[in-house]
Amino acid sequence: MAVSPTLLSAFHASGARGTWGMIITVLVVFFPASVAVTLPSPLLAKFAIEARPGREGSSLGIVMAAGSVGAIFGAILAGFVTLPLIGSTMTFAACGAAALLCLPFLRGGKPGDKGITVAAVGFVAFAGIAAPPSCQFESGLSCLHVEKRGPEVRLISDGIMQASERRVPPGAADNTVGLGLRYTEWLWSRMQRDLGTAPSVLFIGGGGYTLPTKLLETRPDATAVAVEIDPLVTEVVRTHMPRASEMIARAGYDASGSAEATNGRLGLVHADGRVYLNETERRFDAVVMDAFSSNSVPAHLVTLETFARLRDIVDGPIYVNLIDTEDGPLARGVNAILRDLFPHVEVVNGALNQRDRGNILFVASDTPVRPLAGLPEGYRRTTISDARAFTDDRGWTGHR
């Protein structure tokens, strides 16, 4: 545990990303410590049994119960308290220090040197403090970084570009937030073509709030609700992305309830997107499905039941953003869902990265989809192969 915080920071700084980066990091950083932390249990069980002769069964039961209770409360404490407050590096170091601090209280076995224990605790604490943090901003759900490159501000989540806000020079025809990612340019072009002057749009996945900001700035009578599962994302946007932050401050309100806003145009909901869809009583003119966990879509947001519920509460088009290989399994499953529910579906895909993955964008509607005059650079219309539609019982094997 003393070495793990430093190793974690070193692997993150080296650029270990994606599935293989995560696997290597877990094997080197967490696996040895996780194995080692199981070694005290047999020793503690031995001490407990020896300390209460004739009551071996209850002594062993107490040790096992204490381990289970500790695991439960430890997971809750780490996920909801220490990770948001001090981050993963310090959390790991604190666990190591707490374990070492228990040593002076053990009874049985050979007497230990308390000086060595104190020195070990100090070393673990120093490793946690000295090691650079793996995340600029961290919660139990997200590892966020903010990059500023000239006029562009980028929000990066778990090593993946989540949003980009590009300020438009003063005097430009559209002096609102500039969309720095090409897939958002396609979504915005579609929304401009498909929606009226005063649409009500639901966004599943807040991200950098660039699209809601663009919509509300350019259409003064429009309204929006953005559902973002992680409140930290919203707080980082408020602090570091000026145009979206200004819009949230000016028009944002808590839309957790079902009632319509009385003096706000941008409703903010911090909840799981599927939970909101199941519980909301509001209706919308369109929806943008753009929720991600790392670089994959949560499985429960790409099922037939999810989009059937969307069809019940959305009167207009449904826009979907995925990241997959060209004609990949996720794209095929979502395509099958949309074609089962809607008579008109259009698909475009963007340029592929080194892993042959890229943005795949859908628009589905009950009315004919009018083609755009042009597409962002690197994007083209495409077709997706037939496949089985994902359901809640047999869904996408992505993040849940």
Distance CA 362, CA 170 (A): 33
Confidence of residue 397 (pLDDT cuts 50, 70, 90): low
pLDDT, greater one: 372 or 121: 372
Residue 398, pLDDT score: 56
Residue in 142, 124, 126 with CA at minimum distance from that of residue 134: 142
CATH (domain of 251): 3.40.50.150
Quick check: is 143 in a domain?
Answer: no
pLDDT of residue 400: 38
Judged by DSSP in three states, 212 sits in: helix
Pair (268, 191) in one structural domain:
yes
Structure tokens that stand for 216 in this block:
């509300």
SS3 (DSSP) at 239: helix
User: 155 lies in a domain?
Assistant: no
113-123: average pLDDT: 74
Contact 319, 288 (CB under 8 A): yes
Q: What is the mean pLDDT of residues 240-267?
A: 83
Per-residue pLDDT, averaged over 315-330, amounts to 92
Q: For strand 160-167 and strand 200-204, is the pairing parallel, antiparallel, or unpaired? A: unpaired
Does position 184 have pLDDT exceeding 70, yes or no? yes
Assigned domain for 165 exists: no
Q: Mean pLDDT over residues 90-98, rounded?
A: 78
Note whether 122 and 192 are same-domain residues. Answer: no
Residue pointed to by tokens 């069809």: 311
Within a domain: 362: yes
Give pLDDT tens digits for 277-294: 999 999 999 999 998 876
Q: Give the lowest-confidence range in 178-182, 191-195, 223-227.
A: 178-182
Question: Are 237 and 352 in a shared domain?
Answer: yes
* Pair 328, 199 in one domain: yes
Same domain, 233 and 316: yes
CA dist., res. 75 & res. 93, Å (int): 15
Does residue 237 lie in a domain region? Answer: yes
Describe the strand order of the beta sheet including 160-167 as a list of residue ranges.
137-138, 143-149, 152-157, 160-167, 177-179
Judge if 98 and 195 occupy the same domain. no
pLDDT in tens, 24-75: 888 888 788 778 878 888 888 888 888 888 888 898 899 889 889 988 998 8
Backbone φ/ψ region at 327: left (φ over 0), alpha (ψ -120 to 50), beta: left
> Of 133, 167, 190, which closes a domain?
133
Q: Is the same domain home to 110 and 213?
A: no
Contact 335, 388 (CB under 8 A): no
The owner of tokens 């096992």 is 64
Residue where a domain stops, chosen among 71, 98, 133: 133
Taking the C-alpha atoms of residue 103 and residue 119, their distance in angstroms, rounded to an integer, is 13
Whether 240 and 145 have beta carbons less than 8 Å apart is answered as no
C-alpha angle 326-319-304 in degrees, rounded to nearest 5: 80
Work out how many domains the chain is built from and give that number.
2
* Same-domain check for residues 79 and 187: no
Show the domain range for 298: 182-381
Whether residues 127 and 259 share a domain: the answer is no
Q: Is the pLDDT of residue 262 over 60?
A: no
CA distance 129 to 35: 24
- Judge if 40 and 124 occupy the same domain: yes
Average pLDDT for 158-169: 74
Q: Is the per-residue pLDDT at 214 higher than 60?
A: yes
Asked if the model's pLDDT at residue 258 lies above 60, the reply is no
In a domain, 366, yes or no: yes
Q: Are residues 198 and 74 in the same domain?
A: no
Q: Which 3 state secondary structure label does DSSP give 322?
A: strand
Average pLDDT over residues 374-381: 87
Are 127 and 204 members of one domain?
A: no
Would residue 177 count as lying in a domain? Answer: no
- 44 falls within a domain: yes
